[in-house]
Structures are given as structure tokens and as C-alpha cells.
Amino acid sequence: MSESIGGNGPGMKLHTKILLGLLVGALLGIAGNLTLGGDDPLVAGVNHYLANPLGQVFLRMLFMIVIPLVFASIALGVAGLGDVRRVGRVGGKAIAYFFVSTALAATLGLLLVDTLKPGEALDPSVREELLASYSSDASTRVEAAANTNFGVQTLINVVTRNPVKSAADLDMLGIIFFGIMFGAALTLIPGERAKPMIGVLQALEDVVIKIVEIAMRIAPFGVAGLIYGVTSRFGFELLVPLGAYVLVVLGALLLHVVVTLSAIVRFYLGISPVTYFGRLRSALVTAFSTSSSSATLPTALATAEQNLGVPPHIAGFVLPLGSTMCMNGTALFEGVTVIFLCQVFGADLSVGQTVVVMLMSVITAIGAAGVPGGSIPLLVGILAMFGVPGEGIAIILGIDRILDMSRTTVNVAGDITATAVVAKWEKSWDASMLPATYGLDHLESADVVPRH
């Protein structure tokens, strides 16, 4: 299996190139911020005319294929199960695991932030400065939150009226529901009638995977551009006053992976966590660089099937569902952020209110868009429940990109782990089925395991 991007000989691996792009972009951005300043015409010009376009082209190529990939994967995954009753069983197991693992992540974050109390250490003058700096951006978030509804209507809205409109609006839950119904219907018609449509879906998925190959060739440049934009604007300015908050979030995310997920991997899946997470490396690097569970879905699917050996019909069903519903990192981040901002604004929460924060973090994380910053509007709604002004979200906006990258990585780790757990729960996979050789450093069509 080829190790390089392009060419047939050995070369630098893809994940190494992406990490190198991250490093170069970050160093150039910080250097520009420290020497010239984030508002300098040269620094801003490089970002506007070079770095940002590179990053946006890379992200847009990934987002371009998300809807067809989700629909094809879900429909093929459901059809591959062969029995609509099995769809309900597999889906029920997946959703149960999503809720439990996400609740564990949120609880861990709440325990850490409530113990260390980073919000009480923030200087009031710094708070006012941050609020002033990001007030316009925060107002946009508040407006978006006002249009976000929770409750029974949210469940009703999962049943899309128009799948084409859902696709245009990036309504992932609507597309997932339509894909489930489409795949279930394929299991209910005669096999000879269903076979041509399954062939079309398989061909669609093959085309999408080929587009992934093309997108990944520009990933190192796109990642460098995205990181440059963040570091050139803010440098270390926000990391210093908000360092305690950042450390709590990152520490909690790390603990969830090292303790919670590793325990599941070790004791239920029966795999060494070092071996397991090593095989997830390509997907985790992609998640970190794009800050998007949706954009990482193609790589995550290939990782689960090729590096772990999870059957395609399980991976194709559980992973798209998990990219929308299994948000371990997002729920943890939301819980920590709500408590942090409550501490900043002097809002003392009772134990019962803290439990409500945990529940709301889990529920809203499920509804968060799998795109960079997708959870921010939902946070505003939670803050309003506890008397914190919605504009308070401005305090953490400047560093959200850094935290978004980290929580997305945990989200994707949780998604793939959920897929392996459900596969073992279904007795379709176990640790003995790990491939002897693996690698996603060069996403050629020959490297992708045939899905059906």
C-alpha cells in the first residue's frame, strides 16, 4: 500500500503533511501577530487573499460531499442489515450508547470545572474588554440562538417534509431520517427490484470517495491556511487571560479519552488503547484540522472499515448517525463553558441546576451542527436559562476555534468507538477481526475496503 500522496514510491505520509501544515500555519500566524500585529495590512492581506481562500476551498470540498455520503451510507447500511426489525435493534443500541457516553463526558467536564473554578479568576477588566471586542459577533450568535427551538417540535422536525430542502439546509437529522426510511423501504421490496437502486447508491458512494482523495491532496495547504487565520488574528492574547478555562476544557477532553473511552476500549472491546487510537490516527488528525465531524465522516468511515475491520453495513449505519448524535466532546465543552461563564458573571448554581446543565449539554450537543462553531448558538440558549446574558458568549469566541478543533477530535473518537461497540454488541465484529495491516495515508480507491 502506497505511503505517499501522489506517485508510487515511498514518501511523506499524509498525516505528517497535515501536521506539518498545522505547524507552519500556526508559526507564521503567531510570528505575524507578534511582529506586525493582527490588524497589520500585510498580515490581514495574506489571510484574506491566500490563507483563508486555501482553507475555505478545502473545507468546501469536504462539505460538498457530506450530504450524498450521509444519504448513501445510511441507506446502504440499513439495506445491508436486510431486515427492518434489525434496523430498529441496531439503531436503538447505537442511540443508547450515544446518550450514555455523552452524559459521561458532560459529567466529567462539570466535575472538573466546578472543582477548579476557572471563571472566578478572570479579571473583570479583561471580561469587559473581551465583551467589547466580540460584541458584534456575539449578537449574531444570540440571534441564531433565538431561532433554535428545543422540545417536542425538535423531534417532530427530524421527520423532514422535503429531503431536498434538508440537503440544501444541511439538516443532517432530516437527511439521516430520509436515508433510514429509504434503506428500510429497500428491504421491504423484492430483491431484484431493489438491486438496481443499491447499485446506484454504491456507485454514488464510490464517486464521493474519489472526491475525498482529491480533497485530501490539498489538505496540508488548507489546514495551514485555517490555522494561520486564527493565530495571526489573536496570537497568544486570549490564551493568557483565559488560560485556566482552556486548560480545564482540554484537560477534561483528554481525561475523557484517556479514562472513559480507553476503559471501554480495553475492557469491552478487548484492545490496547495505544493500538486502538493509533489506528484512528488519520481520522483524528482530519477532525483536529477541520473542526468538523461532518467533514471528517469520509475519513472516519474508511478508518472504521479499513483500520478496525468493522463491517461496512454497521459502519455505514452507525457512523453517519454518530456524526450528528454522538457528541462527547461538544457536550463536555458546553457543560464546562456554561459553568465557567456562570462563575464569571457570579451566578451560583445549585446541585440540581448543575444536573440540568448536564442534561441540556447532552441534548443540545445532539442538535449541534457538525461544522466549525456549530455548538456556539446552542450555548446561548443554555446560558439564558441561568441568568447569564447571551452576549457573555463573546468572552470565549476568540479562542473557540482552538477548542473546537480539540472537541471535534474527541467527537470523532467517540463516533468510531461507538461504531465498534455496536458492531461487537451485534456480534458482527470483535478484536480478533482487526486487520493485520492497515493505512489511510494515501486514500486511493484500492485502499478503501469495498462496502457492499
Domain residue extents for the chain: 23-447
Residue 435 clears pLDDT 50, i.e. is over it:
yes
For the residues 350-369, what does the mean pLDDT come to? 78
pLDDT at 206 over 70: yes
> For position 383, what pLDDT does the model report?
80
Can you tell me the distance from the alpha carbon of 122 to that of 129, in angstroms, rounded to the nearest whole number?
Answer: 12
pLDDT at 406: 92
Instruction: Please give the share of the chain, as a percent, with pLDDT higher than 70.
Output: 79
Residue 430's pLDDT is what? 92
Higher pLDDT, 41 or 62: 41
Quick one: pLDDT at residue 196? 92
Res 1: pLDDT: 31
> What is the pLDDT of the chain when averaged over all its residues?
80
Among the ranges given (141-145, 175-179, 277-281, 314-318), the one the predictor scored with the smallest mean pLDDT: 141-145
Other CB atoms within a 10 A radius of the CB of residue 23 amount to 13
pLDDT band with cut points at 50, 70 and 90 for residue 107: very high
Average pLDDT over residues 296-306: 91
Query: Is the pLDDT at 330 greater than 80, yes or no?
Result: yes
Residue 444: pLDDT over 50: no
pLDDT the model gives residue 412: 95
The residue among 363 and 182 whose pLDDT is bigger is 182
**Sequence-ordered list of residues with C-beta below 8 angstroms from that of 444, at least 6 positions apart, any chain:** 2, 213
Q: How far is CA 272 from CA 30, 132, 276, in A?
A: 37, 48, 6
Kindly report the number of other CB atoms within 10 A of residue 168's CB atom: 10
pLDDT of residue 6: 39
Other beta carbons within 10 Å of 41: 10
What pLDDT does residue 239 have? 59
Confidence of residue 91 (pLDDT cuts 50, 70, 90): confident
Lowest mean pLDDT among 123-137, 247-261, 274-288, 381-395: 123-137
pLDDT at 119: 85
| pTM across the whole model | 0.69
pLDDT interval class at 3 (50, 70, 90): very low
Residue 312 has pLDDT above 70, yes or no: yes
Q: What is the mean pLDDT of residues 33-58?
A: 87
Write down the pLDDT at residue 241. Answer: 61
Nearest to 414 by CA among 265, 291, 286, 278: 265
Average pLDDT on 323-349 reads: 87
pLDDT for 153 equals 67
Q: What is the 3-state secondary structure (H, E, C) of the chain?
A: CCCCCCCCCCCCCHHHHHHHHHHHHHHHHHHHHHHCCCCCHHHHHHHHHHHHHHHHHHHHHHHHCHHHHHHHHHHHHHHHHCCHHHHHHHHHHHHHHHHHHHHHHHHHHHHHHHHHCHHHHCCHHHHHHHHHHCHHHHHHHHHHHHCCCCCHHHHHHHCCCCHHHHHHCCCHHHHHHHHHHHHHHHHHCCHHHHHHHHHHHHHHHHHHHHHHHHHHHCHHHHHHHHHHHHHHHHCCCCCCCCHHHHHHHHHHHHHHHHHHHHHHHHHHHCCCHHHHHHHCHHHHHHHHHHCCHHHHHHHHHHHHHHHCCCCHHHHHHHHHHHHHHCCHHHHHHHHHHHHHHHHHCCCCCCHHHHHHHHHHHHHHHHHCCCCCCCCHHHHHHHHHHCCCCHHHHHHHHCCHHHHHHHHHHHHHHHHHHHHHHHHHHCCCCCHHHCCCCCCCCCCCHHHCCCCC
Per the structure block, which three cell numbers stand in for 17? Answer: 503533511
Best CATH choice for the domain 23-447 from the list 2.60.120.1440, 1.10.3860.10, 1.10.630.10, 3.40.50.2300: 1.10.3860.10
pLDDT, position 409: 95
Q: Name the band, by pLDDT with cuts 50, 70 and 90, for residue 258.
A: very high
What is the pLDDT confidence band of residue 225, given thresholds at 50, 70 and 90? confident
Which residue is listed with cell 480507491?
Answer: 445
183: cell is 434503506
Instruction: Please tell me which of 78-82, 262-266, 352-356 the model is most confident about, judged by mean pLDDT.
Output: 262-266
Q: What is the mean pLDDT of residues 164-188?
A: 84
Res. 190: pLDDT tops 50: yes
